[in-house]
Structure 1
Amino acid sequence: MKLAFIPLGNLTVSKANMRYARKVPDVSDILPTVRSRGVIQPILVRPCAAAPDSEASYEIVAGARRFHAATLVAAERAAEPARAGCGDPGNPAGTGTTPQGADGLAQCASDDLGPDNGDPGVLAPDASGTARLAADTALMPCAILDDDDDASAVEASLIENIARLDPDEVARWECFTRLIREGRTPQHIALTFGLPDLAVRRILALGNLLPRIRDLYRREEIDAATVRHLTLASRSQQKAWLALMDDENAYAPRGYQLKSWLLGGASISTCHALFDVGASKLAVIADLFGDDSFFADCAAFWTLQNAAVEERRAAFLAAGWADVLVMPPDTHFHAWEHEKVAKRKGGHVYLDVRGNGEVVIHEGYLSRKDAARIARAELAASGGDDGMTAKPARAELTSLTQTYVDLHRHAALRAELQGSPGIALRLMVAHAIAGSTLWRVTAEPQAVKSDAIRLSLEVSRAEAVFDERRRGVLAALGLPEDEPSLTGSTGYAMAGARRNLCALLARLVALPDTEVLEVLALVMGETLAAGSAEVEALGTLVGLGMADWWQADEAFLDTLRDREVLLAMVAEVAGPQIAAANAREKGKALKAIIRAHLAGEGGREKKEGWVPRWMAFPPSTYTARGGVGTVLAHDRALAALEPDPDGGVDADADNGGGADPDGIAGGGQAEGEACGDRKAA
């Protein structure tokens, strides 16, 4: 075996290599190190069997990941001629350089990785092939094996990848400590080894432990949770804990029991304090990992916390709330025992104080009993109690006679109603808003577990426009403008319903047809089910352009996980050339490219009006795998909107009946033309 420096262009991955014929390996963990220090450990190669007469061609037996990482770095350096002074573009592997050259190479790598740098895909070879030529001639440190059989090569590949032992955290602490003494910073260590800053700080925090505790951790006699809590302990506490370990008749607490032992009982995190922790001057114990901190004196904490709770209570009362109830730690607030009630209707505020020091504030609630009492009082005051509050001693007709009267009156009224479609329309709108014994219309809850998505929806332009229109309709109907929705009553006109149907009908009768239709449009907007085929059908009919109402934000990009989809999106916003050059990048880098082009950062041309295929009307997929709910819903809506052979619309189709056939056909054609124009643009 001999050592040599071989150009990257003369190296190929051998079929005997255990990573041959697979997808390009993930090198994100070693890429920062290769950028800053080059390839330190030579790769194993042997003369290429396909060209035995050419001594310049070799195949890689072990070290394919180092080879791919060096190739990426070589392409980056070759594509940046203006930065050639930062390092040797012809030697990206970092060999044959002085320590000063290595420092310069690290500096160049950190410049390339800066937040204002161009897309990684821009580092691809140009059309002239100059960059590719420079990358191919870069040198790679290699250990050349004898030209042996394939079995020996396979053995060498397996030994290289299996016969290794990763250093434990204590060994890493020893090495990191030496680097700190040599003048390296934790940030520099994190960049060199491709580790998060927090991971480096956690390893360095082991220095606060006694050597014997570190040895116990190295031998796996104590777990990571115990070590983490021991970083909270002083040297004397660590010695006391070790004494318990040595005492056969004593128990040395571990894990979360150790935290209670160190803090003398209950542990209260500083994040739960309602007061200024710094100004309070209370003693705080923090672990050296930088994650948690706790109050050393729980009694002093509760003195200040209770005073802060009283201040919050006084502030809520001054703001106009009817009452503010403080629930001590031995009681709990249960949402199912209460109902949401607005402040103007007598809603209360509950301050739920937890045993761990946390205070949860619940605004605008009443117990179900109090809420029902207020609802009955309001119903009686409006005259819509239908006699529920006072029962006559004896009715003057039997229940059977009452049924006879009701049914005949109902039959006469619905026959007469056929001649008054305007009244019928207003009655239907009132039913949709207030409900009845036969009607229940529920508003779309827009429920989502993610706070980021909920906030994104609340601040969107579409929600702002719709909310402004809702306030106008509520005012026109004489309803409070601070109501969260127009529809969404308790349903079926039960006792406690917040809408009175007859009062709403009287308001609607006084409105002209144009305003009634505006109310109806708002009702339909609130009660339209998200993700349904109706959304797709209406979007097609009205020619909805999502670019007018939506633009990509962090909440959307954070939900993306599929690399194939992200690459397709990069091609849409940045162009196919950049997408091809970044085909091997991770999703995080692809998202960064999309963000930069949508925002026009770093000298890029800002991409205006981009809408992902799933959100467009009509929607489409990025891959052949399918599984996109909007596309499936659109297919159902499209099938319902297509006219039958007789020139009409199938009324039994999914969500498609009841519309004018000509209007639907015309709307669908206009939408297709509009979408074609937008796609071409």
Structure 2
Amino acid sequence: MQPLLVRPNGEGFEIVAGRRRYFAASKVAEEQGVAADEMLLPCAVTETGDDAGAMEASLIENVARAPMDELEEFEAFAKLLKQGRDVADIALTFGVTELYVKQRFALATLHSRIKDAYRDGDIRPEDLQLLTSATRRQQKEWIAAFEQESDPENDEAEGAPRGYRLKQWLFGGEQIATGAALFAIEDYKGEIITDLFGDASCFADREAFWTLQNAAIARLRDELASKGWKVSVLEKGQRFQAWQHVETPKEDGGHAFIEIRDTGEVEVHEGYLAHDERRARRNSEGADEVTEPRAKPELTKAAENYLALHRHAVVRAELLSRPGVALRLAVAHMVAGSPLWNVKPDPQWADREEIAATVTASRAQAAFEAERQSVLQLLDLEAGYLGTVTRGNGEPYWGAPVFARLLALPDGAVLKVLTLVMAETLAAGSSLVEAAGVVVKPDVAGAALHGVSGRQL
């Protein structure tokens, strides 16, 4: 059905494209007892001397048969370049941009040891592309660090940098990526350092960047304030610690915090109030309601401790005969935490954005998110700072309201909440995930990640 492509070669012809089809047909003829000289296959003949055209046809067929990786594409393009094709011709032939072809030609600058590491699967395509920006000296340093990784006697070797560390190592920790800018790039008049792949463009003039960025942060602050937020701008490099705050609506005094990182990135955290400030606010609100000074307690600290311990003992003993109440109390602890409970939702951190995207697009994640919203409505709660039901920060004010809400729910609804919270706090990559998987026997194919088959999972 698909003719072989051949060209004259002395007294006969040689196959340019279709060698696998030829051998497959020969195998069929052999199995059916047909002589080789009686097997006829349709052929198309190329013009004599058109070596570039023949090579182009062969490469195109290989690309259609199986996608080539970066190095294979570079080698294929290089063969055509040697045959007289220019960048524009190669791009047109393979349906790619001229920049794409130039990016592949940039791989020619790589040391052979780096290419071998890629072929062996020791580095990812992104790292291969980044290393094209490395000088010969940097490439040699990277190779030396890479070879130390496989040295069993060198326990202190840090290994060759990859991913974000590689980008920092190549371009320096002082560089600021253009993606961090809050302002229009056109407003920056300095030099922008970029590689051929366009994955690592940075501002060369840090002072000019921060002048523009600080002005943009001031505009952002004013914009938030105009919306009614009380805005706190953190010092550059100071991280916003969500666990030290409780989510609080704007109407109840919640702040908006602007976090400025040393990398130039800016992140806004809306609707938070520090624990200490919230307690002080509640105490002052309670004090306003008191018309007469409260009498000092007659109990000493020792007496208070005596009563607290006996109250604790009585309630604890009573719980033994009230499993329904204990169940709801346990779930309230899991949701809100306590000084003795340290329950955290799994953050589902991904090493790469591509991985995070596939998890988000999975059927399993979509089903889980739908159930989570149902439980939040059931408890009449807003999602936590990770978007979860589980708070994980031991906020004492959440426990009692959650417990009260659970007391009003039937056992089936409480178990629904318990199941969701248990799933949220199941640690990714742990042995218990494996053990639970063996027990529940999930339909992996039906809940597979986007673009990943159940067999691969």
Q: TM-score range by the shorter chain?
A: 0.5 to 0.7
Q: For residues 542-593 of structure 1, what are the alpha-carbon distances to aligned partners after superposition, in whole Å with 9 as ceiling and x for unaligned?
A: 442122222353xx6xxxxxxxxxxxxxxxxxxxxxxxxxxxxxxxxxxxxx
Contact 2:345–2:424 at 8 Å: present in 1 too?
yes
Contact 1:317–1:323 at 8 Å: present in 2 too?
yes
2:275 aligns to what? 372
1:301 CA displacement: 6.3
- From 530, 534, 539, the counterpart of 2:428: 530
Considering Cα pairs closer than 8 Å and 6+ residues apart, tell me whether 1 or 2 has the greater RCO.
Answer: 1
- From 63, 86, 98, the counterpart of 1:184: 86
1:85 aligns to what? 44
- Secondary structure at the aligned position of 1:349 is classed as strand
Q: What does 1:365-404 align with in structure 2 at a 5 Å threshold?
A: 371-377=274-280, 380=283, 395-397=298-300, 399=302, 401-404=303-306
Aligned residues: 349
- Distance in 2, matches of 1:537 and 1:298, equals 51
Contact 2:6–2:16 at 8 Å: present in 1 too?
no
- Distance in 2, matches of 1:83 and 1:305, equals 67
2:392 aligns to what? 489
Q: What does 1:381-530 align with in structure 2 at a 5 Å threshold?
A: 395-397=298-300, 399=302, 401-481=303-383, 484-491=387-394, 497=395, 499-530=397-428
- Distance in 1, matches of 2:308 and 2:205, equals 72
Q: For residues 42-94 of structure 1, what are the alpha-carbon distances to aligned partners after superposition, in whole Å with 9 as ceiling and x for unaligned?
A: xxxxxxxxxxxxxxxxxxxxxxxxxxxx999843665599884265xxxxxxx
Contact 1:434–1:489 at 8 Å: present in 2 too?
yes
Q: For residues 395-436 of structure 1, what are the alpha-carbon distances to aligned partners after superposition, in whole Å with 9 as ceiling and x for unaligned?
A: 42451x444444444443334334333222222222222233
Tell me the TM-score normalised to structure 1 length: 0.41
2:166 aligns to what? none
- Secondary structure at the aligned position of 1:359 is classed as coil
- Secondary structure at the aligned position of 1:500 is classed as helix
- Distance in 2, matches of 1:478 and 1:269, equals 42
1:500 CA displacement: 2.9
Tell me the TM-score normalised to structure 2 length: 0.58
Contact 1:340–1:347 at 8 Å: present in 2 too?
no
- Distance in 2, matches of 1:318 and 1:378, equals 23
1:458 CA displacement: 2.9
- From 326, 339, 361, the counterpart of 2:266: 361
- Distance in 1, matches of 2:406 and 2:219, equals 46
- Distance in 2, matches of 1:548 and 1:322, equals 47
- Distance in 2, matches of 1:183 and 1:83, equals 29
1:98 aligns to what? 48
Contact 2:361–2:449 at 8 Å: present in 1 too?
no
2:55 matched to 1:109?
no
1:476 CA displacement: 2.5
Q: Which protein shows a greater Rg?
A: 1
2:150 aligns to what? none
- Secondary structure at the aligned position of 2:53 is classed as helix
Q: Show structure 2 runs of 5+ residues with no match.
A: 8-14, 26-39, 68-77, 95-99, 110-134, 139-170, 287-292
Contact 1:349–1:361 at 8 Å: present in 2 too?
no
Counterpart residue type for residue 501 of structure 1: G
2:264 matched to 1:352?
no
2:455 matched to 1:612?
yes
- Distance in 2, matches of 1:303 and 1:103, equals 54
- Distance in 2, matches of 1:181 and 1:534, equals 59
CA 1:404 to 1:320, structure 2 compared with 1: closer, same or farther past 3 Å?
Answer: closer
1:309 CA displacement: 4.0
1:504 CA displacement: 2.1
Counterpart residue type for residue 352 of structure 1: I
Contact 2:345–2:426 at 8 Å: present in 1 too?
yes
Counterpart residue type for residue 521 of structure 1: T
- Secondary structure at the aligned position of 1:373 is classed as helix
1:523 CA displacement: 1.8
- Distance in 2, matches of 1:201 and 1:190, equals 19
CA 1:394 to 1:510, structure 2 compared with 1: closer, same or farther past 3 Å?
Answer: closer
- Secondary structure at the aligned position of 1:104 is classed as helix
Q: What does 1:577-596 align with in structure 2 at a 5 Å threshold?
A: none
Identity, % of aligned positions: 29
Contact 2:258–2:266 at 8 Å: present in 1 too?
yes
- Distance in 2, matches of 1:510 and 1:419, equals 19
- Secondary structure at the aligned position of 2:326 is classed as helix
- Secondary structure at the aligned position of 2:401 is classed as helix
1:75 aligns to what? 20
1:513 CA displacement: 2.0
Contact 2:379–2:402 at 8 Å: present in 1 too?
yes
- Distance in 1, matches of 2:411 and 2:242, equals 43
Contact 2:335–2:390 at 8 Å: present in 1 too?
yes
Contact 1:471–1:482 at 8 Å: present in 2 too?
no
1:393 CA displacement: 5.0
Q: For residues 295-342 of structure 1, what are the alpha-carbon distances to aligned partners after superposition, in whole Å with 9 as ceiling and x for unaligned?
A: 798887666555544444444445654316375xxx433346984654
Contact 2:17–2:61 at 8 Å: present in 1 too?
no
Contact 1:341–1:364 at 8 Å: present in 2 too?
no
Q: Show structure 1 runs of 5+ residues with no match.
A: 1-34, 38-69, 88-96, 121-175, 205-222, 227-258, 261-265, 384-389, 492-496, 557-609, 616-681
- Secondary structure at the aligned position of 1:99 is classed as coil
Counterpart residue type for residue 230 of structure 2: A
CA 1:459 to 1:397, structure 2 compared with 1: closer, same or farther past 3 Å?
Answer: same
1:322 aligns to what? 230
Q: What does 1:260-339 align with in structure 2 at a 5 Å threshold?
A: 273-277=181-185, 280=187, 282=189, 289=196, 305-318=213-226, 321-323=229-231, 325=233, 331-335=236-240, 339=244
- Secondary structure at the aligned position of 1:364 is classed as strand
Counterpart residue type for residue 231 of structure 2: D
CA 1:455 to 1:508, structure 2 compared with 1: closer, same or farther past 3 Å?
Answer: same
Counterpart residue type for residue 349 of structure 1: F
- Distance in 1, matches of 2:107 and 2:433, equals 50
1:130 aligns to what? none
- From 417, 438, 444, the counterpart of 1:546: 444
- Secondary structure at the aligned position of 2:268 is classed as strand
Counterpart residue type for residue 524 of structure 1: M
Counterpart residue type for residue 399 of structure 2: L
1:167 aligns to what? none
- Secondary structure at the aligned position of 1:85 is classed as strand
Q: Which moved more, 1:498-507 or 1:531-540?
A: 531-540
Contact 1:430–1:505 at 8 Å: present in 2 too?
yes
Counterpart residue type for residue 239 of structure 2: H
- Secondary structure at the aligned position of 2:389 is classed as coil
1:112 CA displacement: 0.3
- Distance in 1, matches of 2:388 and 2:194, equals 47
- Secondary structure at the aligned position of 2:348 is classed as coil
